[in-house]
Amino acid sequence: MDSRFQLTRTQAEGLAAEFGTPLYVLDEASLRARIRRYQAAFTAVASRSQLTYASKANSTLALLAIVADEGVLIDCASQGELEAALRAGVPAHRCHLHGNNKSTQELEAAIEHGVHQIVVDNFQELEQLRILSRRPGRSPRGHQTEAQATEPGSTGKGEAPGRAAGEMPDLLLRLAPGVNPLTNAKISTGQEDTKFGFNIGDGSARRALQMALENQLPVKGIHCHVGSQLLDPEAQRGAGAALARFARQMHAEFGWTCEVLNAGGGLGIRYTEQSPMPIEEYCRLLVGAIQEELQGSSLDPILVQEPGRSLVAESGVTLYTVGNIKPTPGRTFVSVDGGLSDNPRPALYDARYEVLDFHDSEDRQTVTVAGKHCETDQLFDGISLSSAIKPGDLLQVLCTGAYNSSMASNYNRYPRPATALLRSSGDFLLVQRRETWDEMFARETLPPDLLK
């Protein structure tokens, strides 16, 4: 059964009339159902487990509030994403800060807000954290012993109780496990030469842990993320096993107890003809690889996954209005009122999407759906649409809940689209209005002598 959210013709026409197009549409019910399914699948194979949402996929405030309401922590890859979570009502101690090049300002903001964890990426960042931990009124907490890890007040679900503002957060070391996932090279992050994390193979990971322990930094666990849109679980299983081996080795060498093992996210979804692994099977295989490597040790870390796309992508669609239709000797172009600025993924990653019209006719034609930007801007090639398609008709593009709104731009000075949320009650609510001209130009100033 196709679980991907899609609009009926009546819904699409009503939304276009009320909010205009292009329009992002999110479905609350399918989002909550997807989260609950993932949580149930993960808990079934790892009782000490926690989901964290990779908010880079979509940080619309209403969406963040829904995800947090389902008990999922929020992973923020920038200070801006942290600010979004806070504005969505998510407590800082339910947020993590990521990033391969965090500024001192970002680290200070995370500490002062009282985030739960900072995922440390490199030696310079470790040194920054060492300096910040020595500031007056802020003492290093060091790593917990096994006994301390189960003290009253620990949730046992990978999240800290509320932390005082300014207290050093828990630290996880991001590791590069040296695996090459089967995915687009531009979204592969677990290989040896990745810009992310401490390399296990060349000893950097070991030296990072030693440096953290010697400086009494509160390093509580390890993290990796090997890539995105993964349809084959073997790279993720290999990375999970590599993290578990590292944890065992560091326990033997330094007496350090890994309390949190975060295997990242990356599970793929069905955009077109893909057949992603069921969440239940994926969780079973991933957790099995980690537990097999930890077998015989005294280590029992909280296991964390960090999905983004696999939670939100299938709960979103984008609605477009058809404009110019142009037959050429090679193909027919059906142009829509959006494009590169509201969905750059086809240009960046050769991403493909399923595009549906609202005609009942069985007479079909194969077309290229093009955007209106001053580029080639061929959004979707080889798309089957009704031969009756005409200007003013509506098209919906499935699975745009992830990496569309969050990557939108003002290229060619187009306003960023609005977002409508289909509530569980059945009502549509505008949760992100379309950008205005005044908002687009608010950052700019024109020197008076240039104004003629």
Looking up tokens 């008990």 gives 71
Helix (H) / strand (E) containing 290: helix 279-294
How far lies 341's CA from each of 16, 146, 261, in Å?
19, 50, 37
Q: Are 396 and 4 in contact (CB under 8 A)?
A: no
Distant-in-sequence, close-in-space partners of 348: CB < 8 Å, separation ≥ 6: 186
71 phi, psi to nearest 5 deg: 85, 15
Tell me how far apart the alpha carbons of residues 424 and 188 are, in angstroms, rounded to a whole number: 35
Q: Which of helix, strand or coil describes residue 209?
A: helix
In 3D space, the residue among 419, 451, 452 whose CA is nearest the CA of residue 22 turns out to be 419
What is the identity of the amino acid at 244?
A: A
142 phi, psi to nearest 5 deg: 70, 180
Torsion of CA 54, 56, 60, 64, to 10 degrees: 10
Distant-in-sequence, close-in-space partners of 215: CB < 8 Å, separation ≥ 6: 126, 130, 133, 140
Q: Are 80 and 96 in contact (CB under 8 A)?
A: no
Helices of type H across 2-151: 9-19, 28-45, 61-69, 79-87, 104-113, 123-133
Tell me how far apart the alpha carbons of residues 354 and 346 are, in angstroms, rounded to a whole number: 12
Annotated active-site residue in 76, 95, 258, 374: 374
What is the identity of the amino acid at 78?
A: S
Q: Which of helix, strand or coil describes residue 120?
A: strand
Tell me how far apart the alpha carbons of residues 160 and 93 are, in angstroms, rounded to a whole number: 7
Cis peptide before 22 (omega within 30 of 0): yes
The question of whether 374 is a catalytic residue gets the answer yes
Q: Are 81 and 55 in contact (CB under 8 A)?
A: yes
Known catalytic residues?
374
